[in-house]
A and B are shown apart, each in its own frame.
Chain A
């Protein structure tokens, strides 16, 4: 009698497109009936996961067409099946998969459109977070200020692309389909969730570099240095005020007193 773990391994492999001969051997009934019975589950898995991808990446689907999207999706699902039972969190790897998927080689902008759709989806699914106020900076001494770190709202995401992906996305996510010229050039985007729902907006070079650096956990000094390097006229005080005004900060993290001490 096969152990339960073996049964589940066998089914998993077969459900994701591997051979199903061993799985069918575990099923009661005659041969043809077994294949039909197993087929119900294989179909459920394939269709339900394809539906998740189609719902998360509507613009990519529109750009490549339903048939090709289904093909790419099935290849992606087999190679990167979900690791969590919360399907709002499925698809993080899809953009990277498309970037290295040979049939998409000529669609240079497609992975960035997928990245944008992923960040839109992630913003909707992100946990709620508290909102910090500028007064939370009152306890920061001048000495500590360069080393503070901002925990940003977990719904926020930052994406820079050499292609006009915001326009491509807006034209293709529902039924638009207008033409966008790649000559329109690149964008630096902030994606998040506000009172009115999900927003996608373009930022200037300095603000983008500043916020994207903070989002990766860099401290204030390093984030300002990045912003000044991207935009020499960057105004740190104004950018900090904007950050709080936009509700982007969920916590101000003071440097640990022990940081940098190596007795």
Chain B
């Protein structure tokens, strides 16, 4: 369980995507909590209203994908204001964003692009995270992205960078265990050493999702496509993550080739069983 200023959240939740909204609103299935992409609710219409209704029955987490915390040019004022307005209406249990960038020279590239891990980039991200936390009036969780490349001039590892960010800004970490797995495989890193290098007390949320494997010009890469069930090896890494971080609220993400809601909820039940087992193991 993690205490937030907005309530107690524990257990396993699911990412709420538009095609499932009506069914969840009608059936009110068992799910410990829900998470939505913030930018999908920036406009008006029935979507935000339905979400506010669901908020009465479920803790809801707000997951941003477009703030671009890694942009050297700083944050977009309008985007930050809309995020803060939505957070004020929704009172989410968590607000999270990514350790990545998407905006350069005012152009939004719609992907979570990788950062070189340097002292300069750390200054940039720390400044942007502090500004976002000031505007939101609360701590945010920063998610490790899935990565397909590293930079020749990086001087810090990703967990070192995240740890420094936590100490500089007071932010938390959203540890995406699938992303750790994908990044480690793509960049030849040790996923367990990665987890061991994160500060356990800072980890406020875990993400799990599916990935796929592609061959590109003779190179095999894992792609974090959120289009399938969580892989067995990622479930195994998840168990080891819980052993280190404790019973962290966990979310199943599925974005493409969306399955029936029951399949998604089944993945969340699987995570919940592992969380409960971890609880028993620690109690014993």
Contacts and interface: CB of A to CB of B under 8 A. Distances in A.
A188 to B, nearest CB: 25
Nearest to B110: A48
Contact of A85 (B67, B70, B104, B114): B67
B113 interface: yes
22 contacts: A1-B153, A3-B72, A4-B70, A7-B116, A8-B72, A9-B105, A12-B104, A26-B116, A27-B151, A29-B150, A41-B113, A41-B114, A52-B110, A82-B108, A83-B107, A83-B108, A85-B76, A86-B82, A88-B40, A88-B43, A124-B43, A193-B44
Contact of A28 (B43, B113, B150, B217): B150
Contacts of A81: 107-109
Interface in A22-65: 26-29, 32-41, 44-45, 48-49, 52
Query: Which 7 A-B pairs give the minimum distances between C-beta atoms?
Result: A85-B66, A128-B44, A36-B216, A37-B149, A5-B72, A12-B104, A125-B43
B121 interface: yes
Interface string B43-86: 11100100000000000000001111011110010110010000
A208 B44 CA distance: 25
Interface residues of B, number: 52
- Most chain-A CB neighbours within 10 Å: which of B76, B109, B124? B109
What DSSP secondary structure best describes chain A's contact surface? helix
Interface stretch (B9-17, B20-28, B218-226, B261-269): B218-226
B216 A40 contact: yes
Given A4-B118, A40-B223, A41-B113, 6 more contacts: A2-B153, A28-B154, A40-B148, A40-B221, A82-B110, A193-B45
B167 interface: no
Nearest to A6: B72
A32 B218 contact: yes
Interface residues of A, number: 48
B39 interface: yes
Nearest to A154: B44
Interface string A126-164: 111100000000000000000000000011000000000
Contact of A7 (B48, B82, B151, B216): B151
A120 to B, nearest CB: 12
A132 to B, nearest CB: 16
A5 B73 contact: yes
Contact of A4 (B44, B48, B67, B116): B116
B71 A8 contact: yes
Contacts of A262: none
A210 interface: no
Contacts of B108: 81-85
Nearest to B152: A28
Contacts of A253: none
